[in-house]
Amino acid sequence: MAQPILTTAVASLAVLLLATQIPWNASTLNALRAAHADRPLQSPVAVFVGGTAGIGAALAVKTAKYSVNPDIHIVGRKKASAEKVLAELRTVNTNGTYSFHECDISLLSNARTLATTLAHQLPKINLLVLTAGNLSFRGRTETCEGHDVKMVLHYYSRMLFVDAL
Question: If we measure between CA atoms, which residue out of 104, 118, 99 comes closest to residue 147?
Answer: 104
Whether residue 89 contacts residue 72, with contact meaning beta carbons closer than 8 Å, is answered with: yes
Give, for 107, the enclosing helix (H) or strand (E): none
- Across the chain, mean pLDDT equals 87
Strand 127-130 relative to strand 67-68: parallel, antiparallel, unpaired? unpaired
Angle, vertex CA 9, rays to CA 24 and CA 102, nearest 5: 155
Dihedrals φ, ψ of 69, to 5°? 55, 55
| Residues 58, 11 contacting (CB under 8 angstroms) | no
Q: Are strands 97-102 and 45-49 parallel, antiparallel or unpaired?
A: unpaired
Residues 61-97 pLDDT 10s? 999 998 999 999 999 999 999 999 999 999 999 999 9
pLDDT of 15-44, one tens digit each?
A: 555 555 666 677 877 877 777 677 788 999
Among candidates 66, 56, 58, which has minimal Cα distance to 36?
A: 66
Strand partners, 99: 73
Q: In this structure, which topology does domain 41-164 adopt according to CATH? A: Rossmann fold (3.40.50)
Query: pTM of the full predicted structure?
Result: 0.80
User: In sequence order, what are the residues at sequence separation of 6 or more whose Cβ sits closer than 8 angstroms to the Cβ of residue 133?
Assistant: 50, 150, 153, 154
Span 106-124, pLDDT tens digits: 999 999 999 999 999 999 9
**Domain boundary assignment for the chain:** 41-164
